Amino acid sequence: MEKIIINGGKRLIGEVEISGAKNAALPILAASILTEGWNTFSNVPNLRDVETIKKLLIGLGVKVEEEKDVRINAAGLNNYEAPYDLVKTMRASVLVLGPLLARLKKAKVALPGGCAIGARPINLHLNGLAALGAKVDLKHGYVEAEAKSLKGATIFFDIPTVTGTENLMMAATLADGVTTLENAACEPEVVDLANVLKKMGADIRGEGTEVITIEGVKELKSTNHTIIPDRIEAGTFMVAAGITAGDIKVRNCNIAHMDAVFSKLTEAGIKLTYENDGVRVIGTKPIRSIDIKTLPYPGFPTDMQAQMMVLMCFANGTSIISETVFENRFMHVSELRRMGADIRIEGRSAIVKGVSGLNGAPVMATDLRASASLILAGLASEGKTEISRIYHIDRGYERIVEKLSNLGADIKRVRD
C-alpha cells in the first residue's frame, strides 16, 4: 500500500499543465463502440479510471492501442457483458450500456452498488432505455437489456443525470426517429461527448441545454477528437494556490467551463487573472468565508465541494456549504476534523468555522475528491500529513504528486 506524505506550509509557485477531463474521456472512449473504424483521441488523461474503461472495452472485443494518443477500433465487438469485477471498481462502466444496446441490440452490465458518496441508483438510465423500446431486466445483480430495434422517444429525467444523459444520447444516435431528452444534464463533458458523436455523423441538437434532440442515423463513422481539459483538476490547483498564499499559472484550462468556481474563488478573495496562455492564481490573506451550494452545471460542481471546504477552514468567519447533488458527500469532514478543522454537519449542510490553522495528521482517503481535499489540507497545514488509501486519487488526478512538487510542495509517495 502506498501513502502520500506532505510537509505543509510551502507556498506554491510556478506553472501547472491541466490534463484531459476524466469525465469526458470515459463516455467518449465508450462511444467508440458505436463505430467500426479506428477512432483517435488526444489529451486522454493517464488515470486508473481510464485504464478500467480500456480494460472493459478490450473485454468486449474492442482493439485499444496507445502511444501518445489512444486509438480504438470496435470492428471486432463480440461481447455485450460488462462484468461485476470491473463495474465494482468504477461505476462509470455503466456508460457502455447505451452504446452496446445501440450497436449489438443487447447489453448485460453489472449493476453498480452504492458508493462512498451516496446510493447512486441508475433507474433514470434504465427508464430511458425502456422508453426507447428496450426490454430491461435486473437479474442476479446484472442489468440485461435487449431490443430488436430502438425507437426514438421523449424522455424526461426527474433529476439531470450526467452519465444518464450520456448513455441515452449514445443509445439514441442509432435509434429510429427522434429522441428528445428533457431536463438533461448540461455539463461541458456532456457537450464534449455530443461533439464527438456529431463528428461521427450523429444528428444532435441542444447539447449544453436542458433539452437535447437526437435524430437517429443508420450508422456512425470513426473520428478524431481532443478531450477537453479537466475543470475539476484546474479548480483543485486553484484552491491549492489560494490556500498556500501561492502564485501559480494554471495552463490548458477552459475558463468558459469554470464560471461558478471562478466566482466563488474570487468571492473568497483569491485573485484570478486571465493571461493568454492560462490563468494566474494568487492567494491573498485573509481568505473570506463564503457560502456554497452544489448544483448541476452551470451551478457549483459537487466535485469541487470537498476542496472548497478545506479553503473555508482557513477563512476568517463561518461558511455554510450545502451539498444538494449527493446525499453522503461529507466523508472528508471527519478526517479534516482530525487535523483541527471546526466543521459541523446539519442535514445536507456543513457549517465550517475558519480556524487559525490546521495541523498535519495521519488521515485516510475515502473517495476521489475527498482525497484531493486531504492533500490540500496537508499542503496548508503545519507539520506532517500522511494520507493512506491513496488509490482513490489515482482514479482522477494525473501525476498529482509530481505536479504539486514541481510547484514547490514538499510531497512524496512512499510504500508502507
Active site residues: 115
Stretch binding ligand EPU (CB under 6 A), from 33-41, 158-166, 258-266, 342-350: 158-166
C-beta closer to ligand EPU: residue 237 or 314: 237
Dig out the grid coordinates for 267 from the structure.
468571492
Whole-number Å distance between alpha carbons of 34 and 45: 22
C-beta closer to ligand EPU: residue 263 or 284: 263
Question: How many C-beta neighbours within 10 Å does residue 183 have?
Answer: 17
Does 306 sit near ligand EPU (CB under 6 A)?
no
* Burial class, 9, CB count within 10 angstroms (exposed 0-12 / middle 13-18 / buried 19+): middle
Smallest distance, Å, CB 329 to ligand EPU? 8
Does 23 sit near ligand EPU (CB under 6 A)?
yes
Stretch binding ligand EPU (CB under 6 A), from 75-83, 121-129, 348-356, 404-412: 121-129
C-beta closer to ligand EPU: residue 127 or 318: 127
Stretch binding ligand EPU (CB under 6 A), from 77-85, 123-131, 241-249, 343-351: 123-131
Alpha helices per DSSP H over 11-146: 22-31, 48-59, 84-87, 97-104, 123-131
C-beta closer to ligand EPU: residue 52 or 289: 52
Tell the residue number behind the cell numbers 464560471, with chain if given: 259
Does 26 sit near ligand EPU (CB under 6 A)?
yes
Which residue in 48, 120, 338, 413 binds ligand EPU (CB under 6 A)? 120
Hey, CA dihedral for 129, 135, 138, 140, is it positive or negative? negative
Does 303 sit near ligand EPU (CB under 6 A)?
yes
Stretch binding ligand EPU (CB under 6 A), from 117-125, 137-145, 334-342, 350-358: 117-125
> What 3-state DSSP class applies to 241?
helix
Dig out the grid coordinates for 208 from the structure.
449544453
Tell the residue number behind the cell numbers 473555508, with chain if given: 312
Which residue in 163, 213, 307, 349 binds ligand EPU (CB under 6 A)? 163
C-beta closer to ligand EPU: residue 28 or 287: 28
Cβ atoms of residues 198 and 216 within 8 Å? no
What angle (nearest 5°) sits at the alpha carbon of residue 405, between those of residues 321 and 286?
40
Which residue in 225, 332, 369, 392 binds ligand EPU (CB under 6 A)? 369
Does 309 sit near ligand EPU (CB under 6 A)?
no
Stretch binding ligand EPU (CB under 6 A), from 116-124, 213-221, 251-259, 273-281: 116-124
Which residue in 42, 123, 154, 263 binds ligand EPU (CB under 6 A)? 123
Q: Which of residues 193-252 bind ligand EPU (CB under 6 A)?
A: none
C-beta closer to ligand EPU: residue 19 or 163: 163
Dig out the grid coordinates for 240 from the structure.
491549492
Whole-number Å distance between alpha carbons of 35 and 103: 8
Whole-number Å distance between alpha carbons of 1 and 229: 30
362 upstream amide cis, omega within 30 of 0 = no
Dig out the grid coordinates for 48 from the structure.
486508473
Does 92 sit near ligand EPU (CB under 6 A)?
yes
Residue 311's closest CA among 366, 255, 350?
350
Smallest distance, Å, CB 115 to ligand EPU? 8
Residue 232 falls in which region: left (phi positive, over 0), alpha (psi -120 to 50) or beta:
alpha
> Footprint of ligand EPU on this chain (CB under 6 A)?
23, 26, 92, 118, 120-125, 159, 161-164, 185, 189, 302-303, 325-326, 368-369, 396
